[in-house]
Amino acid sequence: MTPYVRPANLSEAIALAGHGYRPLAGGTDLYPGAGRELSGPVLDLTALSELRGFDATHGLRIGACTSWAAIAEASLPPALRALQQAALQVGGRQIQNAGTIGGNICNASPAADGIPPLLALNAELEFAGPGGKRRIALEQALLGPRKIARAPDEILIAVHIPAAALTGRSAFRKLGARSHLVISIVMAAVNLRIEAGRIMRARIAVGSCAPTARRLPGLEQALTGMTPDQVVIDPALVIAALSPLDDIRATAAYRSAAVVTLLSRLIRECGA
């Protein structure tokens, strides 16, 4: 068996995925855990043109191997501003040049920077495997820390943002104890549709607090009808949805308080 293949053809890639090859995207998560070389066999996805770039024909399709730098540099609607803000905070520029949106999702870290903005966009994942293609909502695909609903013989080929979710304004922020290269203590993404100064629809997601990033449906409902600069968040709605954790980066109590602050500010930022 060839230990490393980098096909340029999607059907070839799908066939290989069915034969025990390990998919490799940017490599920014797999190499840090590797020894001298990656244990294989390795299926390098980065030469597949179908997995790169943007297509706005139906909603927005982002190829799974689109790099964070490409996302940050693209001209995208305000609803994707949060995703673009996150893109500029995934490691340093070296990581943004190599790391991909699909790799970030499949690695499924509770602190994955890309996931909260995508949750707030109702993103869907498109997998391809021997049985064909399928779509699943990102929210449903997040099964646990480092666990995503991907069969071993499947490849994530694209992230889709439904047309209906491409409206509204968005903002993202992550908190850490230093400026760059932060694994966040807390992060949050907010996406609001505002009409006549009032929140008509809110989608809110928080990462780094629970085993997976989560939407906060209770809070989203409560916000509807409020004016962004007068929002008062009921901490109970946040804490009940997240049950934040204690770890070396911060205490649960801090996370609970910080999430509320962060969300209030992001909501105001979207309203401004």
Is 38 a binding residue for another protein by CB under 8 A? The answer is yes
Sheet with strand 169-175: strands edge to edge: 169-175, 186-195, 198-207, 214-215
What distance in Å separates the CA atoms of residue 108 and residue 115, rounded to the nearest whole number? 8
Matching residue, tokens 């949060």 = 82
Q: Which is nearer to another protein, 30 or 194 (CB)?
A: 30
* Binder among 17, 23, 27, 231 for another protein (CB under 8 A): 27
Matching residue, tokens 């979710």 = 165
Q: Which is nearer to another protein, 10 or 38 (CB)?
A: 38
Which residues from 100-159 bind another protein, rule CB under 8 A? none
Is 55 a binding residue for another protein by CB under 8 A? The answer is no
Is 58 a binding residue for another protein by CB under 8 A? The answer is no
What distance in Å separates the CA atoms of residue 88 and residue 246, rounded to the nearest whole number? 27
Per-residue CA distances from 8 to 48, 49, 53, 259, 271 (Å): 5, 7, 15, 43, 44
Is 40 a binding residue for another protein by CB under 8 A? The answer is yes
Which residues from 178-237 bind another protein, rule CB under 8 A? 178-181, 183, 185
Supply the minimum distance, in Å, between the C-beta of residue 172 and another protein: 16
Long-range contacts, stretch 214-221, CB < 8 angstroms, 24+ apart:
214/119, 214/241, 214/242, 215/119, 215/120, 215/139, 216/241, 216/242, 217/241, 219/263
Is 7 a binding residue for another protein by CB under 8 A? The answer is no
Is 69 a binding residue for another protein by CB under 8 A? The answer is yes
Per-residue CA distances from 68 to 101, 118, 199 (Å): 6, 13, 30
Inter-residue contact 239 to 220 (CB < 8 Å): no
Cα torsion at 101, 103, 104, 105 (round to 10°)?
90
Is 1 a binding residue for another protein by CB under 8 A? The answer is no
Which residues from 239-258 bind another protein, rule CB under 8 A? 248-251, 253-254, 257-258
* Binder among 94, 140, 221, 230 for another protein (CB under 8 A): 94
Which window, 41-49, 100-108, 127-135, 153-161, contacts another protein (CB under 8 A)?
A: 41-49
State the pairing for strand pair 4-5/42-44. Answer: parallel
Q: Which is nearer to another protein, 185 or 213 (CB)?
A: 185
Is 19 a binding residue for another protein by CB under 8 A? The answer is no
Which window, 13-21, 33-41, 125-133, 200-208, contacts another protein (CB under 8 A)?
A: 33-41
Q: Which of 216, 262, 213, 264 is nearest to 239 (CA)?
A: 216
Q: Which is nearer to another protein, 184 or 191 (CB)?
A: 184
Q: Which residues form the interface with another protein (CB under 8 A)? A: 3-4, 6, 24, 26-28, 31-32, 36-38, 40, 42, 44, 46, 69, 88, 91-95, 97-98, 175-181, 183, 185, 248-251, 253-254, 257-258, 261-262
